[in-house]
Amino acid sequence: MNFPELLNLINTLSVSKQDFYTVSKKLEEKIFSLSKTDLKKIILEIGIIPEKIQHDSSEEKLFSKATDIVLAKTFQELGLNSSVNKERANCADVVAKSKTHDYTLVADAKAFRLSRTAKNQKDFKVKSMSDWKGDNDFAILVCPYFQYPKTNSQIYGQALDNNICLLSWEHLLLFLNNSIKENNKVNLAKIWNISKELSKKVTINNKDNNMNFHNTGNKIINNYLKIKTEKENKVFAKCKKVIVSRGKEEIEYWNKEIDRIKKYSKEKAIEELLKALKIEEKIKVIDKFISSLMGK
């Protein structure tokens, strides 16, 4: 399975009349059965939500679930027992347990649209990860590497303060490409604990600096896992090419949408505008509220 095939599966399941739990289970079974080779193909693109997936749609919710499942599957490939939480509210999406080193972790997977560059702290939920960690030893946030803030950000300081490991899909691809797998000799807790390591090297005044993770952090990871910097550069360069290619596809999608909309009749354009503004829904909400005040 490649990424386009995964998208087709997500679309097919999202329009089926089955409940979300059932379609999520089918998606999980499919992703958990992936070979390592196919998993790497998916990881390469899973961090980007396609523009054609409508915001807040059932398809978008299922895509989000797919990122959780892919992350859990990746932990399995790294030698851990891992599963996806059945509940979505107020808990991390993924849980994992070491088979050999007696630790547990929680993790959260993120994907973003290329058209949404303005992201704030709430998008990353670093502080929430600290709460969700609970009695687990580690908490990990996995985002697209190149969509982390490029300048200083409080999320980096929050990660250091709360010992949250900031990783990326690109890092996970690097691990799989180098056949990293936890065993008696390899303890990945060193990676999950990277914020604690960084906090020893970072001053309070410099804790929001993005280079703590994207420079010093990368060096710590590479040194421990014995991954040459050249190999990291090669993987990250490949990921950049894929992002550029995906970006061109997304632009093409929106250009086609522009052409389609330009062909609308006046009536159709008005209808679509009213739908986009959700005016009727707003009227219903207001009417329901004032009716409740009038005892109706």
CB atoms within 10 A of CB 108: 23
pTM: 0.91
Residue 90: its pLDDT value, please? 63
In this structure, of 92-101, 247-256, 282-291, the range with the lowest mean pLDDT score is: 282-291
- Of 98, 102, 165, 177, the residue nearest 130 (C-alpha): 165
Residue 296: its pLDDT value, please? 60
Amino acid present at 232: E
Alpha-carbon distance of 119 to 148, in angstroms, equals 9
Q: 243 with 235: CB under 8 angstroms?
A: no
Residue-level length of the chain: 296
Q: Where do we find the tokens 């979505």?
A: 88
What are the tens digits of pLDDT across the range 182-212?
999 999 999 999 999 888 888 777 888 888 8
The larger pLDDT score, comparing residue 92 to residue 263, is at: 263
Looking at every residue in the chain, the average pLDDT score rounds to 91
What are the tens digits of pLDDT across the range 63-120?
999 999 999 999 999 999 999 987 656 677 899 999 999 999 999 999 999 988 757 7
Residue 247: its pLDDT value, please? 93
Alpha-carbon distance of 244 to 88, in angstroms, equals 32
Alpha-carbon distance of 53 to 101, in angstroms, equals 40
Q: 58 with 14: CB under 8 angstroms?
A: yes
Alpha-carbon distance of 130 to 138, in angstroms, equals 9
Q: 48 with 116: CB under 8 angstroms?
A: no
What are the tens digits of pLDDT across the range 1-42?
999 999 999 999 999 989 998 999 999 999 999 999 999 999
Q: Which domains does the chain have, with CATH numbers?
A: 3-228 (3.40.91.70)
Please give the full DSSP string across 219-285, using - where no structure is assigned: HHHHHHHT--HHHHHHHHHHHHHHHHHHHHHHHHHHHHHHHHHHT--HHHHHHHHHHHHTHHHHHHH
What are the tens digits of pLDDT across the range 155-169?
998 999 999 999 999
- Provide, rounded to the nearest whole percent, the portion of the chain with pLDDT above 90: 68
- Of 81, 82, 79, 77, the residue nearest 92 (C-alpha): 82
